[in-house]
Structure 1
Amino acid sequence: MKVTVLIVCLLSTSLADDPINTRYFPKDFKFGVANAATQIEGGWNEDGKGETIWDYWAHNYPEKINDRSTPDIACDSYHKYKEDVALVKAMGLDNYRLSIAWSRILPTGHPDKINQAGVRYYKNLFAELKEAEVEPMVTLYHWDLPQPLQDEYGGWLNETVVNLFAEYAKICFELFQDDVKMWITINEPKQVCHDGYGTGGAAPGVVSNGVGEYVCAKNILLAHAKAYHVYDDEFRAKNQGRIAMVIDTTWYEPGSDSEEDQEASERIVQFMLGLYGNPIFNGNWPQVVINRVALRSEQEGFATSRLPVLTDEEIAYIKGTYDYLALNHYSTYMVNATAEPAIGDPNFGTDTNVVAWRPPDWPSGSGSWIAIVPWGLRHLLVWLKKTYGNQEIVITENGLSDNTGTLEDDDRISYYQGYLSACLDAIYEDGVNLTTYTAWSI
């Protein structure tokens, strides 16, 4: 099943100064939509499913969620998955990205008890997709750690969870090897670690800024690598599938042509994306991250860097654990260098040593945190090609939120027009090996 997209709109003031493309996407280019279990399934405790950190967060700290919504029912996809698949089929899409809820397969997160009702749910969903001739793109972990693993081990701050994730991944590879050819290990580790174990702004709400998020980063990279090697060693020959980890970042455009601002742009992108991408594609943490965290740690009185060391064995184990580059991207900031911050408590922001901002005339969606800056995506794609080689890039999320509560989607239409146009520029003008575009969300 193929979709041909032709962008034919006139110039739009909502897209800054860039004209809209009138070129076609390559014949084999794929389009899809995405979602995640916690955000769509509902059935949070039905048929043996265990509690996740987001279930616990929503039930115990409802004030921390803007509209006090919960995963309890969500879009009720647990009961309405056939309607979801019908929508995907009606749009003529190639791919449907979804996530498996770890706690729906293993209620406690441990591999000792498989929840057969959860297995049936995903088997039925995959069968429906096969009937619709839509390929599933399946994420094993989209932020929804089983709550018992947070309670017992401290979640991603404990290396025990590395092994438990690999065991969970192996079970999924075994259960769904006839259904899934496109795997994603972990979605947006930056969000998991920075928000969940750094600022504490998201589940599980651990506040350990400038410390916990780096410990989390190392453990998540090892968990991804271990799952990759399990697949590579035990399932690839038969399954003939592909596997990667989703990395994400906002693009940070230099605020001027000065050398300092150019360096600030490179530095913040390496902290935001390179922290997770560089160990996989090049090996080890980015050098600028190593240097900055070591410098700040020493000034703060730490005996060693707050950034955990990756041993030679770990570097080799993580490097090369990808079959494609999976990317989530939504928006752009301008960035400037700033004076060295005063020494205080550890902080990820002061580690980066930049100031990010947006011009007031940049358009955004109604009530959205997302500015509509299509050229930022193009610049990011070119940066990825330059930094990691011309890897196959699969955009796994891109989209615009709003709070209007209406179906008047002018802002979203402008957003997609602009970002798809930027994809075409990257493909035809910059030679970026972009093969798939996935809209967030269904």
Structure 2
Amino acid sequence: MNNNKFIFPKGFLWGAATAACQIEGAYDVDGRGLSTSDIHKFEAGLNRRELVEDEHTSVSLAKAVADKDGYYPKRYGNGFYYRYKEDIALMKEMGFNSFRLSISWSRIFPNGDELEPNENGLKFYDKVIKEIVNAGMEPIVTMLHYDIPLNLVTKYGGFRNPKLIDFMMRYGKLLINRYGDKVKYWIPFNQINLIQYCGFKSLGILRDKTENFQEDQYKAIHNQFIINAKLKEFAKKHNPDIQIGIMLADCTYFPHTCKPEDVVFTMKRNRMQYFFADVPLRGEYPGHMLRFFKENNININISEEDKITLRENTSDFLAFSYYYSRTLDAEKNTMDAASVSDNPYLVGNDWGWTIDPLGFYNSLSQYWDRYQKPIMIAENGFGHEDVFEEGTVHDDYRINYLKEHVLSLAEALQDGVEIIAYLTWAPIDLVSSGTSEMSKRYGFVYVDLDDFGKGTGDRFKKDSFYWYKKVIESNGAKLDLDNENAMSSEK
């Protein structure tokens, strides 16, 4: 890619992203209630690629809540609740001008259905957001990042129940009223499309409490679409400058071969993923999804009022996470979103996540061509089992990964793609969402904790810390630590 003379836009947002359920800890402090992330137990020795939790029953949930011996890492995070000032100071030192965080719903409404919020929970975020703003960063807030209050799961059945529209609207309005003068960018739902891997954490549906799991999933997604639109409507009345986005986990696939069957099959599968952004960004259900619902006896009950709400309150921007790419084989794969094939031309990390910066460029281009809406890179990063020695980590593999993806970002910007932010995952090491490991590390800062939470919790700068600092200082011009072959640019 030819980026020799490229200049990143003035005011471009550089930063990183986290989730409350992966960093905060303090799960039983100041009135916080349990959430869907608090029941993911760490199991040592299992195949990492199989350590993905996507389903729960009422039995497994009750067992996890009652378990006094197992270790549940997301209840403890990396100690951000107590060390947020230190962590934000490290981000400031790197030069961040933006920071994406999420707010724990169960810290504000412990059961999710209360009429009045937990003021102690709000006071924590008062302090955190103030610290972020005072550090010169634009706070980007996710309202729900895989931590639904457990009471909303056990009592109401999760987001398939339309009562959750009112409960989350109460929560979302409170956040906008309280922080809308400090927070411009809001993402109501993290990776709204990733139901094949994170359905329980994002939708709150118990498998033994549903007669038609697939239908209930799409009912839940519809209710989330309505919430997204209603929050947009409310936010614009509160403060016209507020931006409400929709977020995807990128699931743009390549055909495994150039056989027409693979090409058409891949188009259909990609279209099923675009659907999750089509409705919020275009304001209506696409025809192929209405056909899919009809052919699979899925009844969503989309009212005329719903259609108006969606049409008149489209999202302001598209946020998406990008880590790797996959291919699709029409003979081997199915329409199940979790059915994928590896690309034989790519290599991956220990978790099988293939490295594909060209795939990043492809996805950016496809989204822009389809929606013509501003794009935020909400997550991009490289998980690795780092070796900590002599007070640091020499993570050239992470630097190389991020460098190549920033180059793809620059290429898309030169095509005219409107990208407003690049947020890596993550600023500091945190608990993995899918595997509950600490050893799957993403941060620029090493955290001295192992997979069972043992260690000092102290923070140490990795080589990538200094690399990203230089990237931000140069507004994307200097992509090498030694400054050789760097792009020319302006700060």
TM-score class, shorter-chain normalisation, is 0.7 to 0.9
1:256 alignment counterpart: 257
CA gap of 1:101–1:313, structure 2 versus 1, over 3 A, is same
State the 1:281 CA deviation: 1.8
Partners of 1:111 and 1:168 within 8 A in 2: no
- Distance in 2, Cα, partners of 1:118 & 1:317: 31
State the 1:69 CA deviation: 4.5
- Distance in 2, Cα, partners of 1:400 & 1:335: 23
2:228 alignment counterpart: 224
One-letter amino acid of the structure 1 residue matched with residue 20 of structure 2: A
- Distance in 2, Cα, partners of 1:315 & 1:101: 30
CA gap of 1:266–1:283, structure 2 versus 1, over 3 A, is farther
- Distance in 1, Cα, partners of 2:254 & 2:52: 30
Whether 1:440 aligns to 2:440 is no
Partners of 1:43 and 1:72 within 8 A in 2: yes
One-letter amino acid of the structure 1 residue matched with residue 262 of structure 2: D
394, 397, 406: which is aligned to 2:376? Answer: 394
Partners of 1:337 and 1:355 within 8 A in 2: no
385, 391, 397: which is aligned to 2:368? Answer: 385
298, 306, 315: which is aligned to 1:306? Answer: 298
Query: Identity across aligned pairs (percent)?
Result: 26
TM-score, scaled to structure 2: 0.74
RMSD: 2.8
Which aligned pairs between 1:6-21 and structure 2 lie closer than 5 A? none
1:364 alignment counterpart: 348
396, 403, 407: which is aligned to 1:410? Answer: 396
One-letter amino acid of the structure 2 residue matched with residue 402 of structure 1: H
1:7 alignment counterpart: none
One-letter amino acid of the structure 2 residue matched with residue 194 of structure 1: Q
- Distance in 2, Cα, partners of 1:281 & 1:351: 24
One-letter amino acid of the structure 2 residue matched with residue 408 of structure 1: H
1:300 alignment counterpart: none
2:168 alignment counterpart: 165
- Distance in 2, Cα, partners of 1:410 & 1:22: 25
Partners of 1:336 and 1:355 within 8 A in 2: no
1:6 alignment counterpart: none
Counterpart secondary structure, 2:314: coil
Query: Runs of 5+ in structure 1 lacking a partner?
Result: 1-17, 298-304, 342-348
CA gap of 1:38–1:336, structure 2 versus 1, over 3 A, is same
2:323 alignment counterpart: 330
State the 1:216 CA deviation: 1.8
2:243 alignment counterpart: 242
Counterpart secondary structure, 1:96: strand
2:149 alignment counterpart: 146
Counterpart secondary structure, 1:251: coil
State the 1:182 CA deviation: 1.7
State the 1:259 CA deviation: 3.6
State the 1:255 CA deviation: 2.6
State the 1:359 CA deviation: 2.8
2:459 alignment counterpart: none
24, 30, 36: which is aligned to 1:53? Answer: 36
Counterpart secondary structure, 2:376: strand
- Distance in 2, Cα, partners of 1:72 & 1:280: 32
Show CA shifts across 1:372-407 (max 9, x none). Answer: 10111111111112221x211111111111234542
One-letter amino acid of the structure 2 residue matched with residue 357 of structure 1: S
Partners of 2:103 and 2:142 within 8 A in 1: yes
- Distance in 2, Cα, partners of 1:332 & 1:24: 27
Partners of 1:326 and 1:394 within 8 A in 2: yes
Query: Runs of 5+ in structure 2 lacking a partner?
Result: 54-69, 428-491
State the 1:309 CA deviation: 4.7
Which aligned pairs between 1:269-308 and structure 2 lie closer than 5 A? 269-272=270-273, 274-295=274-295, 297=296, 305-306=297-298, 308=300
Whether 1:174 aligns to 2:159 is no
Counterpart secondary structure, 1:133: coil
One-letter amino acid of the structure 1 residue matched with residue 244 of structure 2: I
2:206 alignment counterpart: 206
State the 1:102 CA deviation: 0.6
- Distance in 1, Cα, partners of 2:52 & 2:250: 22
CA gap of 1:333–1:65, structure 2 versus 1, over 3 A, is closer
CA gap of 1:174–1:140, structure 2 versus 1, over 3 A, is same
Counterpart secondary structure, 1:145: coil
CA gap of 1:27–1:188, structure 2 versus 1, over 3 A, is same
CA gap of 1:91–1:307, structure 2 versus 1, over 3 A, is farther
One-letter amino acid of the structure 1 residue matched with residue 325 of structure 2: T
Of the two structures, which has the highest relative contact order with CA contacts closer than 8 Å and spacing of 6 or more?
2
TM-score, scaled to structure 1: 0.82
Counterpart secondary structure, 1:332: coil
Whether 1:131 aligns to 2:123 is no
Whether 1:85 aligns to 2:88 is yes
2:356 alignment counterpart: 373
CA gap of 1:159–1:411, structure 2 versus 1, over 3 A, is same
Partners of 1:157 and 1:219 within 8 A in 2: yes
Higher alpha-carbon deviation: 161-170 or 321-330: 321-330
48, 69, 77: which is aligned to 1:74? Answer: 77
Partners of 1:364 and 1:411 within 8 A in 2: no
- Distance in 2, Cα, partners of 1:203 & 1:225: 17
Q: How many pairs align? A: 398
Partners of 2:14 and 2:97 within 8 A in 1: yes
2:6 alignment counterpart: 23
Higher alpha-carbon deviation: 245-254 or 93-102: 245-254
CA gap of 1:92–1:59, structure 2 versus 1, over 3 A, is closer
CA gap of 1:37–1:201, structure 2 versus 1, over 3 A, is closer
- Distance in 2, Cα, partners of 1:227 & 1:27: 29
